Each structure stands twice: as C-alpha cells, then as structure tokens.
Structure 1
Amino acid sequence: MVAVASYSQRFAVLMKLRLQLFEFEDQPWFPAVVRAGMMDYLRFMITHLHTYRPIAPLLAEALRRTNQQHVLELCAGAGGGTEDVLQALQAENLPKVRITLTDLYPQPAAWQHIGKQSNGAIGFEPAPVNALQVPAQLAGFRAVFSAFHHFRPALGAQLLRNAVQAQTGVGVFEGAGKHWWEILLALTVLPVAQLLITPFIRPFSVSRLLFTYLIPLIPLCTIWDGVVSILRMYTPKQLLALGRQADPEGRYHWQAGKVRHAWGPEVTYLVGWPKNQ
C-alpha cells in the first residue's frame, strides 16, 4: 500500500509539470494524409463523446459578454466537436450563433462535410490562418479546442496577446483534466476503439483504411500524440499566468479552471474578454 501511495504521489507531481515533448502532427515533414486520418478520428471521438458539452455555459456567457454571435475557431484541425459545441450553444439560447473553422493546415474536405451537417451554421476559411497573427478581417470570439497545448509558453502568450490587441474575446479548451488515468486510456482503450470505429468515420477515405489497418501509422502516431498531448497540457494556474502575461495592463477579465462531465471526464479551460464589455 505504501508503494502504491508513493507512485500515486509521483504521478500527481508529474501531472503538474508541463513536458515539452514532440508530437508527430506538429512536424512539417509529417505526411498530410496521415495527419488528416488522425484528425478525422479525433473529430469523430470528440463529437460522439460530447467532449466539450460542459463548457457550453462558459462559452455562451463569454459570447454574451462580448456581444458576439460568431465563434472564430483557431487550430480547428478536422473540426472535432464543433457540431456538438454549436448544438450546445443553441441550447444555451443562442439560436443565431455561427462558427468559422480555420487552421494553419486547412482541411476543406472534412469542413465541407461539417458545414453540410450544420445547414451552413458552420463555415470555414480555405486559406491557412496563423493563430498567432489572425487577419483583421476574420472577426469573432476566438476559440481553440484541443490544440493550445501545442504552443510553447511564449507562443501561447502570443496567441492570447494577439486576441487582446484585437480587443476580442478568447477561450482555450482542452478535453482532459491532465490525470494519469487519461494516459492509461490513451495507451489501452482508445487504440482499440480507433480500430473499431475507423470504417464508420465520414467522409469515407480509402487512405484512412490503408494507414490504419495495413500500414498502421495513424493509430501508432495517435497513441504517441495522445499521451504527449496530456503531458504538454497547461494547468488552470499556468493558463491564468499566460493570460496575465498577454495582458500586462489588466484590461481583460480572465477565468480558468476545470469543468466535469456528469460521467467523469474533465475539460480544462481559460476564457478572457475585455473588462469594458
């Protein structure tokens, strides 16, 4: 029992750290077809597990505070969870809300599918968009789902500072609570789930089947990136520090923490908006 308690304490300390390890999907040389397959899987899982439903009240409040009906999603990947977030916001009495997907590596095929499913309430920007320097013509409350951990602290603060300079609201959300058991799931249960659900992911892709079953680069890289993503996550305290670093004059209201699903999992978040709004 003493040994178990000791290991538990060590894991708890480890989870408070942020380890800047590498993820395959961040690498410019990484094959686009494998990256797309990984993003499609994440989109499917995040959407069907309703990962970001718990943050709908927070995001809805932030939209009201900033008088916004438009969410500009940065680093959108394949748009994982966006349909679910849209439905949750509509349920929060925001029936006219719309979302625009953007990414440094646009995925128009996946985004067009999402747009059709949402009857046009979700659109996208076809050109690459750098989350650190968002073009002025792309207005809206900026949101980052499942991607803020990719940014080193200096770059994370720069992303937030760019929103502060544009005087727009911003929120970052990670679909985990940074616990050791989430790493265990990423190593065991989720790979099995990926093998089972891949044939049902839409839009259909032959390359996704090829690189899942014959040359299993998608599941292997997903396992690695999934574990590393948790280790790279920021804690709420660290997120607040980045928000204040991005806003040294204290012009923004910042709020960070975790919200829990009724069935257990957590979402870590940071939201900020100008105090004069």
Structure 2
Amino acid sequence: MNIRLQLFELEDQRWFPHVIRQGMLDFLRFMITKLEAYEAALPLLQELLERTQQYQITDLCSGAGGGIAKVREDLSKRVGTPVQVTLTDLYPNLEAYQYLQAKSKGMIDYLPVSVDATAAPDSLKGVRTIFSSFHHFPPRTAQAILQDTADKRAAIGIFEGSSKSWLELLMLWLSFPVVIILVTPFIRPFKPSRLFFTYLIPLIPIGIIWDGSVSLLRIYPPRMLQQMAENVKAPNYTWRAGKAGSRFGKHVIYLIGYPEKGTS
C-alpha cells in the first residue's frame, strides 16, 4: 500500500467527546503493550540514545502512552542504564499518565499541560519519539515537526506500528470487533465509562474501527518520509526512513534523524 490518503479521524476532531477519545486510546495502549508492537523499533531507538549519549526520551503525541512502558523497560536493558521518559500531548490523558508514572516508579513522568509537537518547549530534553501518531498530521504540519526538531538539534524517532498493507486492513475489520469485546474488562486503569461506551452504547468500538482503518490509509510510507526529511533545512543532520520487523504484527515504519556528532 504505497499510497496515503488525508482522511479524517474522529479522535482528531475538537468536538469529539473526550471520554470516547480516551477510551479508544486506552485500548490502543493495552494492545500495543500486550503485542509488544514496537519490538522492531528498539535497535533504532538504541542507536539514537547511544549516538547522542542521552538516556532520556521526550515522547510527543503520547495519547494514552501506548506501549511506552514496555519500550522503556526493554530499552533500558539494551543500553545498560535506566531510561527516563516524559510523556506529552496536545490533549494529555492525565489518568493514563499518572497510572504509568506510578507503575514505573517515576521513571515515566509527564507534562500536564498541552504540548504542540511543532513547537516543543526548549525545556524538554532528550531524544524525541512519536509512536503511532505521525500519520495524524497533514504534510505541512508533519514537516514543521521535523523542522522544529532539527532547529533545536534534537534527535527523533518516528514509528508507526504497521507495514501498511491491505491484509492489515482486512484483519482490523474481521478481528478487532471481537478483540475489543474480549479485552475491555482487563484494561487499566478501570473506568466504568469504558464499559458503558463499549457494551451498552458501542461508541468506543465504532471509533476504534473507523480510526484504525483511516490510520492505515494515512500512514506515510518510507518513501514519503524520506522525501519530507530531505526538505528539512538543517546542516549536518542525518535522516533515515524504512521498514523494520519480520513477523506479522511486529512491523514498524520508521523515520529517524539526528545531528551529526559534534554539531548539537
């Protein structure tokens, strides 16, 4: 699937109910964590941390923090030192962030205020990451995120947990309705609203299927990511885009960028 369609996702809409948005994001966090969907991203993240000698991650567009706890744990083992993560988002999911902070014993923290990924505060340090969110941005905004990163001489890893295939789209339509019904009672932190809007008024499942389908169509293929990176105005900066992973459900599309040594 080497195309990209700029369709709309419900969770991006300002009018979309916050309780439904957070229910959808909580489900994605649960599934990404259980499936270890970003396993193939770990060597790339390790490369960024070791190149920059920064063992701190600023996660942009964190949503509900999907999979970040497992990524942080595995990455810490790979680099041999504890990795600290700060979660940020335009619409911070404070309940989820507090849950992750407590579970990680403070190794995951968060900013409780809105953070725009096109103009991240100078106070945010470390390697920037964006998981499963870059496709939300139209090309001009996506380009601005990359330019802001390069302007501040930060390293960044952008990862989409997908190989962007028609088979993935078919599996989403056939399997997710059943999966949502089965796993919802086990998602933490527990919220009665999640049960209500899954089983009684199924707005969360409808939103997940719609947004999941649109997300696959909106993901930038590696070719487009590389072209976008080449348009960033930044001297002595390296970009690389591609696909990683060899098992179904374990693929990632990625773009990594970092300032060359001695130029940060």
With the shorter chain as reference, the TM-score category is over 0.9
Contact 2:151 2:234 in 1 (8 A): no
Match of 2:185 in 1: 199
Q: Tell me which structure has the larger Cα radius of gyration.
A: 1
Runs of 4+ more than 3 Å apart: 261-265
Match of 2:53 in 1: 67
The one-letter amino acid paired with 2:244 is V
Partner Cα distance (2:246, 2:103) in 1 = 25
Match of 1:212 in 2: 198
Match of 2:241 in 1: 256
The one-letter amino acid paired with 2:210 is W
Question: Could you tell me how far 1:263 is from its partner in structure 2?
Answer: 5.0
Alignment of 1:16 onto 2:5: no
The one-letter amino acid paired with 1:169 is A
Match of 1:120 in 2: 106
Question: Could you tell me how far 1:162 is from its partner in structure 2?
Answer: 0.3
1:142-173 per-residue CA deviation (whole Å, 9 max, x = no partner) reads 10000000011111110010000000001100
The one-letter amino acid paired with 2:63 is G
44-53 or 111-120, larger mean C-alpha shift: 111-120
After superposition, residues 142-181 of structure 1 pair within 5 angstroms as 142-181=128-167
After superposition, residues 99-118 of structure 1 pair within 5 angstroms as 99-118=85-104
The one-letter amino acid paired with 1:85 is V
1:160-217 per-residue CA deviation (whole Å, 9 max, x = no partner) reads 1000000000110000010001101111112210110000100000000000010100
Contact 2:89 2:114 in 1 (8 A): yes
The one-letter amino acid paired with 2:240 is Q
Partner Cα distance (1:264, 1:184) in 2 = 13
Partner Cα distance (1:16, 1:259) in 2 = 16
Q: Secondary structure at the match of 1:224?
A: helix
Structure 1 alignment gaps of length 5 or more: 1-14
Partner Cα distance (1:16, 1:120) in 2 = 41
Match of 1:276 in 2: 261
67-76 or 252-261, larger mean C-alpha shift: 252-261
Contact 2:55 2:83 in 1 (8 A): yes
Question: Could you tell me how far 1:250 is from its partner in structure 2?
Answer: 4.3
Contact 1:60 1:94 in 2 (8 A): no
TM-score by length of 2: 0.96
Relative to 1, partners in 2 of residues 1:263 and 1:249: Cα closer, same or farther, differing over 3 Å?
Answer: closer
TM-score by length of 1: 0.92
Partner Cα distance (1:276, 1:201) in 2 = 42
The one-letter amino acid paired with 1:266 is H
- C-alpha RMSD over aligned residues: 1.1
Partner Cα distance (1:214, 1:76) in 2 = 28
Percent of matched pairs sharing the same residue: 47
* Number of positions where the alignment pairs a residue of Structure 1 with one of Structure 2: 262
Q: Secondary structure at the match of 1:243?
A: helix
Alignment of 1:34 onto 2:20: yes
1:97-124 per-residue CA deviation (whole Å, 9 max, x = no partner) reads 1100000001111111111111211110
